[in-house]
Amino acid sequence: MTLPSQHQTVLLREAVDALEIKPAGTYVDGTFGRGGHSRAILDRLGPDGRLLALDRDPDAVALARETPDRRLRVMHQSFSELTEALRVAGIDVEQGVDGVLLDIGVSSPQLDQGERGFSFRYDAPLDMRMDTTQGETAAQWLQRAGVQEITEVIRNYGEERFAFQIAKKVVAARGERPLTTTGELAALVRAAVRTREPGKDAATRTFQALRIHINQELEQLTLVLPQAMTVLKQGGRLVVISFHSLEDRIVKRFMRDGAAPDRLSRKLPLRAVDLPQPDLRLVGKALKASAEEVAANPRARSAVMRVAEKLARKAA
């Protein structure tokens, strides 16, 4: 299968290796993006294999549908609706899938397309929606949100210490006229942020925070993880690549808790073999992009990949 690609897929080989592709297996790529991971999975699948690819971005879905492959089913849907997507695709949820891959966050084409409003490098409409067919834009939210709500979003999702000052400037500015472009917002943020790390634009944290909030990225991730564990077959792999410490914290905690046996009182008269078994097994340690990959693709520097395998529950 050949799909055009405008960006470099992060941890491509490592992620697909971690899935341990079975030629006749069934897999889910929860974030198709520009098709890098999906293409690699299809290259390893046999004629009876199946791949369900999901994406919230209509541009990504349109790209995926340009090259038909009978083994590939593409759906314009958030991965937070994984279970329902499997049912719609005709995949038996009870039978399960062999692997789920989630590449979290914004893709390079989304950042590089100024009209999407994700980046302060372009003066464009302040949109920031991954799914441009629904929901509230960043401009609309900033027009109605109060100082406290804006402060909390920028502080919690952007870890920005000048969040309150930025929020006050936003509310004051919109009193004169609405903020409608990325350039207007970036200039306002730069005026409010007094100091910043060398080489880092003062608007970086605020734009990141608004993108996470507008797309409910952390909530979406929290919803999909338990669904992925449920729909995996015994021995199936869950592979997650995150690009932000808040995302990685959610993934790390979920996998760690799933790999820990249920805690029972030591006073209970149970043998070790009778103790409840964990649902997951952690596979290796958290993996980051190599120095060579980061040199070729600087956006890979913050990537963290975690892998877990579903264990079988012992029969009662």
CB 28, CB 42: distance < 8 Å: no
Instruction: Please give the pLDDT value at position 253.
Output: 97
Q: In 159-242, where does DSSP find H-type helix? A: 163-174, 182-192, 204-214, 217-231
CA distance 149 to 164: 10
E strand or H helix at 55? strand 50-55
Instruction: Please give the pLDDT value at position 266.
Output: 55
* Contacts (Cβ under 8 Å, ≥6 apart) of 202: 189, 190, 193, 196
List the binding residues. 35-37, 55, 79, 103, 110
- Whether the pTM exceeds 0.85: the reply is yes
Give, for all 316 residues of the chain, the pLDDT tens digit: 434 445 678 999 999 999 999 999 999 999 998 889 999 999 999 999 999 999 999 988 998 888 789 999 999 999 999 999 999 999 999 999 999 999 997 765 555 565 676 677 778 999 999 999 999 999 999 999 999 999 999 999 999 999 999 999 999 999 999 999 999 999 999 999 987 777 788 999 999 999 999 999 999 999 999 999 999 999 999 999 999 999 999 999 999 999 987 655 555 555 555 556 788 999 999 999 999 999 998 888 999 999 999 998 654 4
CA distance 117 to 253: 32
Q: Which CATH number is 12-108+217-310 given?
A: 3.40.50.150
List the binding residues for S-adenosyl-L-methionine. 35-37, 55, 79, 103, 110
Q: Which CATH architecture has domain 132-214?
A: Orthogonal Bundle (1.10)
CA distance 8 to 1: 17
Domain(s) labelled CATH 3.40.50.150 in the chain stretch across: 12-108+217-310
Q: What is the residue type of 175? A: G
Q: State CA 248 to chain mean position distance.
A: 10
Torsion sign (Cα): 167, 171, 174, 176: negative
Instruction: Please give the pLDDT value at position 107.
Output: 62
For residue 131, give the nearest of 244, 214, 205 by alpha carbon.
214
For residue 221, give the nearest of 7, 11, 31, 12 by alpha carbon.
31
Q: What is the residue type of 107? A: S
DSSP 159: -
CB 308, CB 237: distance < 8 Å: yes
DSSP 189: H
Q: Is 254 helix (H, G, I), strand (E, B) or coil?
A: helix
Instruction: Please give the pLDDT value at position 2.
Output: 39
Domain(s) labelled CATH 1.10.150.170 in the chain stretch across: 132-214
